Amino acid sequence: MALLEVKDLRTSFQTEDGVVGAVDGVSFSIEKGQTLGIVGESGSGKSVTCLTIMGLNPRRTTISSGEALWKGKNLLTAKPGELREIRGDDISMIFQDPMTSLNPVHNIGKQLIEAVQLHRDVSVKVARARALELLKAVGIPHAERRIDDYPHQFSGGMRQRVMIAMALINDPDLLIADEPTTALDVTTQAQILNLMKRLQEDFGSAILIITHDLGVVAETADDVLVMYAARVVEQTSVDQLFGRPQHPYTWGLMGSLPRLETDVERLTQIPGQPPSLLRPPAGCRFHPRCPHVMEICKTTVPELVPTQKDPEHLQACHLDEETKDREAAKLLEATMAAEVAS
Amino acid sequence: MFRYLIRRILWALLLFLVITFVTFVIFFMGPQDPARAQCGGDQATRSCLKLVTEKYGLNKPIYIQYERFFKRLVLHFNLGHSYQTGQNINQAVYDGARETGSLVFGGAVLWMLIALTVGVYSALRPRSLIDRTAMVFVLIGVSAHPIWIGLIFEYVFGVKLGWTPIANYANFFGATAGSGQPGGPWQWFYHLILPWITFAILFAALYVRMVRANVMETLNEDYVRTARAKGAPEHRVLFSHVLRNALLPVVTMLGMDVGVALGGAIFTESVYQIHGLGWSLITAIGASDFATVQGVVVFATIAILTLNLFVDLLYAWIDPRIRLT
């Protein structure tokens, strides 16, 4: 049985302007020790997917349906008390902005100890020892001294390490990382990604990593979900995605990666804006921006179906597979995406 | 920290000097003649006027008079006496401060209790019936004048229902012997119920709104989401993570408002005939009793300066990001 199995997850928010469908039919599963990446632009529903699983959406304005089975138990229908026991213990989460994700008025020791004591009936002394152990594991220098420091005394990268320490302190089975490196500078990004990989080996946690950066996916994930406008457009293993991308949106993402060996005036970009989820376009939601748009795309929603060559490779596009393979090959020649993958 | 304290105290002293001097000057330039007041106004005799003027140096330049006043204040903690009533001003300020203090601190406790419970509840359930009702009362509280509220309360609870006294103050530590006045803790409480409520309504309304806005804003902070993601139950999220952050600005406001009110809660004191500092101030201004006004100003200045310093220290203690340097 999969650790986490999400089936046809749908989440919408009631806003003053109407109902916004933020996640529309997402399914995936994560096995023990595995890493799944979710890629997409801002507002594509990546974060909401995770917040829904964790039950962290605002309760009054959110409507969710589908299933999120955690070890066979549906998290969407679980009582608040049951969810609370799972959160921070079995499933923990790190967030995008380490500058604002730690409480400024408590020192980090107190926040780490709180995380332990919420789930374990241990003394402050034991919890503190555990906190110290984790701070050392995530590479905070002089952890004994710094444990009593406040968040504002740490740099962004150090704070994200503290967040990771807090997330791993109860040996979770699944770590959800919502854009863990987006707010950090490039050298720190690499350090944090390496740290997460190393800790995954040590702690054996599965990781669900959300990012808009294909490079991060290539570096960390086993499987990938590409999301666009609340829907999954492509879902496959990392090797497949970078070796044989099957959706024009994925091509667009890859095409906008900077290349080192060729001189280009400016990066290729996907024209247009992501659609409003309040009134999404009919048919394929990518069609207004798609260079390969056909008549059928404007009326019929493409289903997420396996490709002929690989039943594990799911994609949602009306184009025929030959054209897609040809386009993918053309793209790979021109970009360094393949190199990133290897 | 130590250096900060020293600097703050020096600043406070300078401010104190300036404020007392300015009030001194304003009244010095006023039309009243202290010597005449001392000698019984219109019946003043020439010899009395001469004697008083000589004795208190009233014909000396202003800076010498001010120096005299300031020296006496700093060296002997003595505010002198009133030219009009002959009353010792230290005693007058002490009596007034006792009554104003009772009113203001009791009122502050009351308005904070209301602001915290209603404000937090409204923030947690925005647009609920209680929230909407509370906002209507906030509007009334902000708009209604304390004197009007006081009169209505006196009429309804004091006269019609007969539940409470309609005026006056009762000493907490027992009445003056033989005065025939009520005294003791219960009478004190009983007499202050209406004044407290009247005084607290305006501030309760302002603070409910402030607490509500701050809590709602803090609830959207990332670290609150982090706390929930850790598996913290809602009450823990609220008390340990939200309130401490949300109440920071409230603490500042509280310090300032209490400090200002200690200079005299004039409206409430007037309605309920509480002879506090506000009352003394109004009476003294009416009688051109400069020395008493100066006494109240000195007390109010000290109260505001002390409370502000206290709030700043408290603030640094609550929020570790603030460093006192």
- Give the residue from chain B lying closest to A93, CA to CA: B229
Q: Is residue A337 part of a domain?
A: yes
- pLDDT over 90 (residue A262): no
The encoded tokens of residue B301 equal 């200045």
Determine the pLDDT at residue A114.
95
Question: Is residue A237, in this structure, part of any structural domain at all?
Answer: no
Chain A within 8 Å of B235 (Cβ-Cβ)? no
Query: Does residue A161 belong to any structural domain of this protein?
Result: yes
pLDDT band at A263 (very low <50, low <70, confident <90, very high): low
Tell whether B241 lies on the interface with A, counting CB pairs under 8 A.
yes
Task: State the Cα–Cα distance between residues A25 and A65, nearest whole angstrom.
Answer: 9
R_g of chain B, CA atoms, integer Å: 24
pLDDT tier at A339, thresholds 50, 70, 90: low
pLDDT in tens, B231-273: 999 999 999 999 989 988 898 889 888 988 888 788 888 888 8
Chain B residues within an 8 Å CB radius of A106: 240-241
Q: Which residues pair with A314 in a beta bridge?
A: A235, A306
Q: How far is B224 from chain A (nearest CA, A)?
A: 8
Interface test with B, best of A105, A134, A150 (most B CBs within 10 A): A105
Mean pLDDT of B75-89: 80
The pLDDT assigned to A249 comes to 93
Look up residue B270 and give its two tokens: 């007037």
Q: What is the mean pLDDT of residues B28-35?
A: 74
Q: Could you list the residue range(s) of the whole structural domain that residue A259 is in?
A: 247-341
**CA distances from residue B95 to B87, B101, B107, B144, B259 in whole angstroms, order as listed:** 12, 10, 18, 29, 18
**Can you give the pLDDT at residue A327?**
85
The rounded distance, in Å, linking the Cα atoms of A124 and A130 is: 10
Does residue A236 fall inside a structural domain?
Answer: no
Per-residue confidence (pLDDT) for residue A186, from 0 to 100: 84
- Reading the block at residue B286, the tokens are 């009416």
Residue A266 has a pLDDT of: 64
Query: Would you call A56 and B231 a contact, using CB atoms and an 8 Å cutoff?
Result: no
How does the average pLDDT of chain A come out, rounded? 89
Residue B297, amino acid: V
Residues A33 and A124 in one domain: yes
Per-residue confidence band for B159, with pLDDT thresholds at 50, 70 and 90? confident
Query: Is B228–A104 a contact, with Cβ atoms under 8 angstroms apart?
Result: no
Q: How far is CA A174 from CA A56, A150, A205, in A?
A: 16, 27, 5
Q: Do B223 and A89 lie within an 8 Å CB cutoff?
A: no
- A115, A264: one domain: no
Asked if A60 and A108 sit in the same domain, the reply is yes
A31-40, A75-84, A249-258, A320-329: which has the minimum mean pLDDT? A249-258
Residue range A276-302: average pLDDT?
91
Q: How confident is the model at residue A165 (pLDDT cuts 50, 70, 90)?
A: very high
pLDDT grade for B179, boundaries at 50, 70 and 90 = low
pLDDT at position A122: 95
The full DSSP string for A169-237 is TT--SEEEEESTTTTS-HHHHHHHHHHHHHHHHHH--EEEEEES-HHHHHHH-SEEEEEETTEEEEEEE
Same domain assignment for residues A67 and A108: yes
Of A192, A225, A258, the position where a domain reaches its end is A225
pLDDT at A340: 54
**What are the tens digits of pLDDT across the range A99-131?**
899 999 999 999 999 999 999 999 999 999 999
pLDDT tens digits for range A181-230:
888 888 888 888 888 888 888 888 899 999 988 888 988 999 999 999 99
The answer to whether residues B270 and B314 touch, using CB atoms and an 8 Å cutoff, is no
Q: Which of A156, A190, A225 is the last residue in one of the domains?
A: A225
Decide if B230 and A86 are in contact by the 8 Å CB cutoff: no
Q: Strands A174-178 and A91-94, how do they pair?
A: parallel
- Same-domain pairing of A217 and A257: no
Is the CB of residue B196 less than 8 Å from the CB of residue B274? no
pLDDT of residue A92: 93
CATH number at residue A48: 3.40.50.300
How high is the pLDDT of residue B224?
94
Task: Assess if residue A234 is contained within a domain.
Answer: no
State residue B249's pLDDT score.
87
Q: Which residues of B touch A169 (CB under 8 A)?
A: none
Beta strand A73-74 pairing with A305-306: unpaired
Task: Lowest mean pLDDT of A90-94, A232-236, A331-335, B178-182, name the range.
Answer: B178-182
- Assess whether pLDDT exceeds 70 at residue A336: no
Contact B230 A100 (CB under 8 A): no
Q: Which of A85, A100, A105 sits opposite B231 (nearest CB)?
A: A85
Q: Work out the percent of chain B whose per-residue pLDDT is above 70.
A: 97
Which residues of chain B neighbour A85 with C-beta distances below 8 Å? 231
Domain tally, chain A: 2
Domain match, A120 and A256 both = no
Under DSSP, the state recorded for B275 is: -
Whether the per-residue pLDDT at A264 is higher than 70: the answer is: no
Q: What is the pLDDT of residue A337?
A: 46
Q: Are residues A110 and A185 in the same domain?
A: yes
- A253 shares a domain with A220: no
| A23 falls within a domain | yes
The answer to whether residue B162 neighbours chain A at the CB level (below 8 Å) is no
Report how far residue A225's alpha carbon sits from residue B49's, in angstroms, rounded to the nearest whole number. 98
Mean predicted confidence (pLDDT) in A30-41: 92
Which residue type sits at B138? Answer: V
A191 and A263 housed in the same domain: no
- Residue A262 included in any domain: yes
Last residue of a domain, one of A225, A257, A279: A225
DSSP B171: B
| Together in a domain, A252 and A221 | no
| pLDDT tops 50 at residue B203 | yes
Average pLDDT value for residue range A314-319: 92
pLDDT band at B180 (very low <50, low <70, confident <90, very high): low
pLDDT at res. B81: 79
- Interface residue ranges in chain A relative to chain B, Cβ cutoff 8 Å: 54, 56, 84-89, 92-93, 95, 97, 100-107, 114-115, 118-119, 150, 152, 163, 166
d(CA A152, CA A99): 8
Confidence class for position A338, pLDDT limits 50, 70, 90 = very low
Same domain? For A187 and A53 the reply is yes
Number of CB atoms found within 10 A of residue B57's CB: 12
A137 and A269 assigned to the same domain? no
Q: State whether A84 and B240 contact (CB < 8 Å).
A: no
Residue A190 inside a domain? The answer is yes
* Interface predicted TM-score (ipTM): 0.87
Over residues A35-52, the mean pLDDT reads 91
- The reported pLDDT for the residue numbered A9 is 94
> Distance (Å) from the C-alpha of residue A176 to the closest C-alpha of chain B?
10
Size of interface A-B (CB pairs under 8 A): 70
